[in-house]
Amino acid sequence: MNPNKALWEKGDFTRIAESMRDSGEVLVKDLGITSGLEVLDLGCGDGTTAVPAARLGADVLGVDIAANLVEAGNRRAEAEGLTRCRFQEGDASDLHELRDGSFDLVVSIFGAMFAPRPFDVAGEMVRVTRAGGRIVMGNWIPDDPTLVAQILKVSAAYSPPPPEGFVSPMTWGIEANVIERFARAGIPEAKISFARDTYNFTHPGSPSELLAVFRTSYGPTMNAFEAAEANGRGTDLQNELEALFNSQNTSASNDATSIPATFLRVTVTR
């Protein structure tokens, strides 16, 4: 089994996505979506950005490597009667099933960054975007002090080293890497802009409860706990992550969670 697919089909990312819905909607409202715009949401999960884009009238295709998330996305679209929003399986590193220049807007929020072969990913995003169209990516930033970068950093310290030649997804959060990858796909630096943006993870329970959701449902965290437990260090990992989640909670109540996480927003004009 493709390890990239296995990682994201492990657990149930929809449970994490529930904590990201509000920020997904805010981000989509800022994309200038108009009725009939052809949108590709790449690495779409269960549609945190695809569904609100369709509510604004766009024709949305969500593509994701995980079959369970594609199914969940289609269920959400059907439940809302969004007939112009559909989800299908695909790999951001090789979108051979999609025609050249078929989308006005390609969105990938913490999605394509997790695909292998980043140069191929940039090439495919550019290929399927029409001339004059846009690509918007949200990418976590390595060593950033906020939630997700820290979860991934702490988890890596408890996990075996990655295989030889592995390119960290976090390199998509480094501007020079982004510029180099899109340059290889024919996009000059002047057509790329960067901004720091924030996603808020909200949960109607304590930070420890949100961590429990990550521990049981988020593939990368599940793998980190499996590796830590195999070395008798599961409790250390739990304690470190619990301290992280609690220290970053900005909610006034201890029984509710709101944790901001900074990301790099990349906009490319084709």
Ligand X SMILES: C[S@@+](CC[C@H](N)C(=O)[O-])C[C@H]1O[C@@H](n2cnc3c(N)ncnc32)[C@H](O)[C@@H]1O
Among 109, 149, 185, 241, indicate the residue that binds ligand X (CB under 6 A): 109
Q: Under the criterion CB under 6 A, does residue 62 sit at the interface with ligand X?
A: no
Q: Under the criterion CB under 6 A, does residue 8 sit at the interface with ligand X?
A: yes
Residues 200 and 139: their CA atoms lie apart, in Å, by 14
Task: Please give the C-alpha separations between residue 42 and each of 147, 195, 242, in angstroms, as whole numbers.
Answer: 23, 20, 31
CA 185 to chain centre: 22
Among 11, 52, 73, 111, indicate the residue that binds ligand X (CB under 6 A): 111
Q: Looking only at residues 142 through 201 of this chain, which bind ligand X when binding is defined by CB under 6 A?
A: none
- Report the residue number whose CB is nearest to ligand X: 45
Please, which residue, 8 or 201, has the CB nearer to ligand X?
A: 8
Give which of 63, 71, 73, 49 is closest to 93, Cα–Cα: 63
Strands (DSSP E) contained in 43-101 are 59-64, 85-89
Q: Name the minimum Å distance from CB 11 to ligand X.
A: 11
Q: Name the minimum Å distance from CB 66 to ligand X.
A: 4
Please, which residue, 75 or 233, has the CB nearer to ligand X?
A: 75
From the list 85-93, 98-106, 127-135, 207-215, the region that binds ligand X by CB under 6 A is: 85-93
From the list 89-97, 124-132, 159-167, 180-188, the region that binds ligand X by CB under 6 A is: 89-97
Mutual angle of helices 234-248 and 147-157, in 10-degree steps = 170
Q: Under the criterion CB under 6 A, does residue 87 sit at the interface with ligand X?
A: no
Residues 213 and 13: their CA atoms lie apart, in Å, by 9
**DSSP codes joined into one string, 211-250:** HHHHHHHBHHHHHHHHHHHHTT-HHHHHHHHHHHHHHH--
Q: Under the criterion CB under 6 A, does residue 261 sit at the interface with ligand X?
A: no
Please, which residue, 182 or 214, has the CB nearer to ligand X?
A: 214
Give which of 84, 146, 147, 152 is closest to 114, Cα–Cα: 152
From the list 63-71, 72-80, 173-181, 186-194, the region that binds ligand X by CB under 6 A is: 63-71
Q: Under the criterion CB under 6 A, does residue 136 sit at the interface with ligand X?
A: no
In this structure, what token pair is assigned to residue 16?
């994490």
Please, which residue, 52 or 252, has the CB nearer to ligand X?
A: 52
Largest CA distance in the chain: 54
Q: Under the criterion CB under 6 A, does residue 70 sit at the interface with ligand X?
A: no
Q: Name the minimum Å distance from CB 227 to ligand X.
A: 19
From the list 28-36, 58-66, 97-105, 239-247, the region that binds ligand X by CB under 6 A is: 58-66
Q: What are phi and psi of 143, to 5 degrees?
A: 65, 5
Q: Under the criterion CB under 6 A, does residue 103 sit at the interface with ligand X?
A: no
Cβ–Cβ < 8 Å for 82, 47: no
Binding footprint of ligand X on the chain (CB under 6 A): 4, 8, 13, 17, 20, 24, 43-45, 48-49, 64-66, 69, 91-93, 109-111, 114-115
